[in-house]
Amino acid sequence: MRCVKQEIKMPEFNKYSIFNLQFSFPCLYVFICSLLFIGITEESPAQTWHRVRWVNDGDTIVLNTGQRVRYIGINTPEIEHDDQKAQPFGYQAKSYNKMLVKSRKVRLEYDADRRDRYGRYLAYVFLEDRTFVNARLLEAGLAYYLHRKPNSKYAEILLKAQQEAMVSRKGLWRNWSEKEQIYIGNRNSKRFHVTGCKFAEKINPRNRVRFSSKWTAFYLGYAPSKKCIEKYWGDGTGN
């Protein structure tokens, strides 16, 4: 019986094949490193824990990294600086903010726009126990809601926090009183103006809304325009 020798054909060697270990491992290593680099450069909210070094005022802090952070969605009364006099509850807002975050670890959560025109980071700030600092200042009546597109991730939560403080008459809203007056609001920007303001006159009629008081405008989520309203608080808040 004759034995027939059968030739076995080996697969053709391809130096670019992923099965070629000499080629694939270095490339795979580079690929994985690239993914890690992308993950590091694009911070996710869970990665942005920092410690607060300094509290500038009610809505601005400085981290240990030197990074300045402005709270998204709120505005607190001013403290005295340069030629600006302190506004009612300005120092109370700063003290409350300091009590909440000074020397503590905070998590920064960003929205569409990460920086403002002054170079400050814009963020929602959370403590380790999940306290939402932005909302807490509103709940205490030491800030008002400030709508600003496109950063509107927590708009409903923040406005509700303000409304609850207004109903409970806390902080800014405690001794509120004002003379009835017509104000003109812009549905697009969520700002309100005094009647006769040149900026109010430029509002598209489709976006124009009238308020009989500052209180009503605030409650519906509108903020005062700094271009024409210097004293936004009620007549009784400074008492």
How, if at all, do strands 49-55 and 60-63 pair?
antiparallel
Q: CA 208, CA 22: separation in Å to the nearest integer?
A: 68
- pLDDT average, residue stretch 140-169: 97
pLDDT at 199 over 90: yes
Q: Which pLDDT tens digit goes with each residue over 1-22?
A: 454 444 444 445 444 444 343 4
Q: What is the DSSP string of 81-101?
A: BTTBPPPTTHHHHHHHHHHHH
What confidence tier does 40 reach under pLDDT thresholds 50, 70, 90?
very low
Nearest to 64 by CA among 75, 48, 81, 80: 48
Q: Give domain limits for the chain.
A: 45-176, 178-233
If you search the block for the tokens 């700030």, which residue do you land on? 125
| 225 contacts 197 by C-beta, under 8 angstroms | yes
CATH fit for domain 45-176, picks 3.40.47.10, 2.30.30.90, 2.40.50.90, 3.40.50.970: 2.40.50.90
Instruction: Return the amino acid letter for 29.
Output: Y
How, if at all, do strands 223-224 and 191-194 pair?
parallel
Q: Which helix (H) or strand (E) holds 199?
A: helix 198-201
In DSSP terms, 227 is beta-bridged to none
So what's the pLDDT on residue 44?
A: 47
The single-letter DSSP state of residue 69 is E
The single-letter DSSP state of residue 2 is P
Determine the topology of domain 178-233 in CATH.
DNA Methylphosphotriester Repair Domain (3.40.10)
Query: How many contiguous H segments (helices) and E segments (strands) does the chain have?
Result: 6, 11
| 233 contacts 93 by C-beta, under 8 angstroms | no
Give the catalytic positions in this structure.
Answer: 70, 78, 120
Average pLDDT in the chain: 85
pLDDT at 58 over 50: yes
Q: What's the CA angle centered on 39, arms 36 and 42, to 5 degrees? A: 150
Q: Which pLDDT tens digit goes with each residue over 116-127?
A: 999 999 999 999
Q: CA 77, CA 66: separation in Å to the nearest integer?
A: 24
pLDDT at 94 over 70: yes
